[in-house]
């Protein structure tokens, strides 16, 4: 922890004042910060972060679903320092390259499912999904089917905040700001059994939700549909784990109508579900696979789109120049951070450790389902949610309060030294993959106390 900030409420207040005066925050009511003040984070170590008042918090969200290896690994700082000393920046445009980008592309081709052998580098998950829109549509142009333009996504999906990413996302509140979505995006229901399953059992609902894709394709005209995009498990939407029947049915539908399958692995990639990619967990064969976050464990911003042989061959053999790219596509320092992160994930067996700890985390997390405030506890790998309800057992009676109870619960959670996120009235976690058994116990104890405080 930085000495300058330790246990000094005055310093915290001063920082908060300056922050509120000049900083417009993402996904924040910045006006409210004048009254409430931001939490100022000054340090991070393993699964823990420290704020400017000296409080240590268990980071149950891995920052923003990204710090797979935990906070504060010196090796990454050292690798970035070495790279910046040699070559701090150069681009990968116009037939130029450098070793970190070459090494990282090669490594990703080795780690990713075997049909994904190329990567287009970006600076974030949002840029990756913007890239997806252009690649999907260009692919069908090259295939002589320019009318295939529409991409189908799901309500309540999150695919980023750029115009393209937010258009692909199915968050209505986001669409309401800035005139989204762009043309040529359509939406189908999410496989959210707890919230939207009605009288159907989960398996029947999973099939129903998947078949909504087929209905949408028929309604728009199959000749117009270019791709379906989805997260294996919706993260920001509230850790929506699809029923087991969902993905097999979706796969068949994509094959039947010859549309590209885009699997957004920005959260589920790099071990979050106990395998390298969520696609392996659900048996998917993506044509395009956006990645970011865990690629560098969030230490520096980098993302990419993993491109299948089917799409890459078309681009390389028939595409000519792809008029697309970012100044920081394949930034050498970011590639160095990602390479070192992947080395740690591999050499320390972090993905296997995530798979090992997952059943214990599930046991402790699912046990919270007996709490009077919890309508459903669910978890897969290291992603979990608690649905808060006013009465048990209840899927039909929900709070009608715009997420007030979730916000209250989130605030209690922070006071109890645990970072959980509130998505309306569900509390979600996605801890670092290096979480230990003792830390899982801490997480479960603090989460239960938080539920008691909220009741
Ligand atoms: N896709 C998914 C599934 C995400 O969860 C996110 C971010 O949370 C994004 C894309 C956007 O990534 P970024 O915030 O790096 O732009």
Q: What angle do helix axes 350-366 and 332-347 make, rounded to 10 degrees? A: 70
Asked whether 57 and 49 are in contact (CB, 8 A), the reply is: yes
The pick from 64, 160, 262, 294 for probing ligand 1's pocket by mutation, whose C-beta has the most ligand atoms within 8 angstroms, reads 160
Nearest Cα residue to atom 1 of ligand 1:
159
Please state, in angstroms and rounded to a whole number, the distance separating the CA atoms of residues 264 and 169: 11
The pick from 267, 298, 304, 430 for probing ligand 1's pocket by mutation, whose C-beta has the most ligand atoms within 8 angstroms, reads 267
pLDDT recorded at residue 392: 79
The pick from 62, 67, 125 for probing ligand 1's pocket by mutation, whose C-beta has the most ligand atoms within 8 angstroms, reads 125
What is the predicted ipTM? Answer: 0.99
Structure token pair of residue 41: 């984070």
CB atoms within 10 A of CB 455: 12
Please give the number of the atom of ligand 1 that sits closest to the Cα of 268. Answer: 3
What confidence tens digit (pLDDT) does each residue in 304-361 have? 999 999 999 999 999 999 999 999 999 999 999 999 999 999 999 999 999 999 999 9
Residue 453 alpha carbon to ligand 1 centre in Å: 31
pLDDT recorded at residue 376: 95
Residue 326 alpha carbon to ligand 1 centre in Å: 17
Q: CA nearest 339: which of 103, 77, 65?
A: 103
Q: DSSP assignment of 357-414, as one string?
A: HHHHHHHHHHGGGGSTTEEEEEEETTEEEEEE-SSSS-SS----STTHHHHHHHHHHH
pLDDT recorded at residue 7: 52
**Peptide bond between residue 273 and the one before it cis (omega within 30 degrees of 0):** no
| DSSP tag of 54 | S
pLDDT recorded at residue 32: 87
Nearest Cα residue to atom 10 of ligand 1:
159
Query: How would you classify the pairing of strands 303-308 and 116-122?
Result: antiparallel
pLDDT recorded at residue 10: 65
Residue 28 alpha carbon to ligand 1 centre in Å: 16
What confidence tens digit (pLDDT) does each residue in 262-304 have? 999 999 999 999 999 999 999 999 999 999 999 999 999 999 9
Structure token pair of residue 95: 């037939």
Ligand 1: which residues within 6 Å by Cβ? 124-126, 129, 158-160, 165, 231, 235-236, 264, 266-267, 292, 303
Asked whether 293 and 267 are in contact (CB, 8 A), the reply is: yes
What confidence tens digit (pLDDT) does each residue in 13-41 have? 999 999 999 999 999 998 888 888 899 99
**Peptide bond between residue 134 and the one before it cis (omega within 30 degrees of 0):** no
pTM value is: 0.96
Beta bridge partners of 150: 225
| DSSP tag of 187 | E
Please state, in angstroms and rounded to a whole number, the distance separating the CA atoms of residues 75 and 112: 23
pLDDT recorded at residue 4: 46
pLDDT recorded at residue 1: 41
Residue 372 alpha carbon to ligand 1 centre in Å: 33
Please give the number of the atom of ligand 1 that sits closest to the Cα of 129. Answer: 10
The pick from 128, 231, 293 for probing ligand 1's pocket by mutation, whose C-beta has the most ligand atoms within 8 angstroms, reads 293
Beta bridge partners of 307: 118, 288
Structure token pair of residue 124: 């974030």
For a pLDDT cut of 90, what percent of the chain falls above it? 93
Using DSSP's 3-state secondary structure scheme, residue 192 falls into coil
Residue 160 alpha carbon to ligand 1 centre in Å: 5
What domains can be seen in the chain, in order of their start residue? 76-347 (3.40.640.10), 350-454 (3.90.1150.10)
* pLDDT per residue of the chain (455 residues) written in tens, 0 to 9: 444 445 555 689 999 999 999 999 999 998 888 888 899 999 999 999 999 999 999 999 999 999 999 999 999 999 999 999 999 999 999 999 999 999 999 999 999 999 999 999 999 999 999 999 999 999 999 999 999 999 999 999 999 999 999 999 999 999 999 999 999 999 999 999 999 999 999 999 999 999 999 999 999 999 999 999 999 999 999 999 999 999 999 999 999 999 999 999 999 999 999 999 999 999 999 999 999 999 999 999 999 999 999 999 999 999 999 999 999 999 999 999 999 999 999 999 999 999 999 999 999 999 999 999 999 999 999 999 999 999 877 777 778 777 899 999 999 999 999 999 999 999 999 999 999 999 999 999 999 999 999 99
Please give the number of the atom of ligand 1 that sits closest to the Cα of 293. Answer: 15
Please give the number of the atom of ligand 1 that sits closest to the Cα of 127. Answer: 16
Maximum C-alpha span of the chain: 65
Residue 371 alpha carbon to ligand 1 centre in Å: 31
Q: DSSP assignment of 18-53, as one string?
A: HHHHH---TTS-HHHHHHH-PPPEEEEEBTEEEETT
């Amino acid at each position: 922890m930085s000495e300058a900030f330790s246990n000094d409420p005055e310093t915290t207040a001063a920082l908060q004042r300056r922050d509120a005066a000049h900083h417009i925050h993402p996904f924040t009511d910045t006006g409210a910060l004048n009254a409430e003040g931001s939490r100022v984070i000054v340090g991070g170590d393993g699964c823990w972060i420290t704020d400017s008042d000296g409080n240590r918090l268990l980071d149950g969200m891995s920052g923003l679903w990204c710090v797979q290896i935990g906070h504060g690994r010196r090796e990454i700082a050292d690798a970035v320092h070495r790279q910046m000393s040699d070559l701090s920046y150069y681009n990968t445009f116009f037939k130029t390259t450098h070793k970190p980008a070459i090494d990282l592309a090669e490594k990703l081709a080795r780690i990713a499912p075997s049909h994904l052998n190329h990567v287009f580098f970006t600076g974030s998950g949002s840029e990756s999904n913007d890239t997806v829109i252009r690649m999907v549509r260009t692919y069908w142009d090259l295939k002589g089917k320019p009318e295939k333009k529409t991409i189908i996504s799901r309500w309540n999906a999150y695919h980023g905040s750029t115009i393209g990413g937010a258009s692909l996302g199915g968050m209505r509140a986001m669409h309401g700001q800035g005139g989204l979505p762009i043309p040529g995006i359509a939406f189908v229901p999410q496989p959210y059994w707890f919230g939207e399953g009605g009288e159907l059992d989960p398996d029947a609902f999973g099939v129903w939700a998947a078949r909504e894709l087929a209905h949408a394709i028929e309604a728009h005209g199959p000749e117009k549909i270019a791709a379906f995009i989805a997260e294996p498990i919706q993260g920001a939407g509230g850790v929506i784990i699809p029923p087991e029947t969902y993905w097999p049915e979706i796969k068949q539908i994509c094959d039947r109508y010859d549309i590209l399958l885009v699997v957004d692995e920005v959260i589920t990639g790099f071990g979050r579900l106990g395998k390298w990619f969520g696609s392996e967990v659900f048996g998917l064969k993506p044509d395009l696979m956006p990645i970011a976050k865990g690629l560098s464990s969030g230490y520096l911003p980098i993302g990419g789109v993993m491109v299948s042989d089917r799409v890459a061959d078309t681009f390389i053999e028939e595409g000519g120049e792809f008029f697309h790219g970012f100044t920081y596509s394949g930034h050498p320092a970011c590639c160095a951070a990602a390479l070192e992160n992947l080395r740690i994930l591999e050499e320390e067996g972090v993905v296997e450790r995530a798979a090992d700890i997952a059943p214990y985390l599930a046991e402790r997390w699912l046990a919270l389902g007996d709490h009077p405030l919890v309508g459903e506890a669910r978890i897969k790998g290291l992603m979990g949610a608690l649905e808060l309800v006013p009465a048990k057992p209840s899927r039909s009676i929900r709070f009608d309060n715009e997420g007030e109870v979730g916000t209250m619960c989130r605030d209690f959670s922070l006071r109890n030294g645990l970072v959980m996120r509130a998505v309306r009235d569900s509390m979600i976690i996605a801890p670092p993959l290096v979480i230990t058994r003792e830390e899982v116990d801490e997480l479960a104890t603090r989460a239960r106390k938080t539920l008691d405080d909220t009741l």
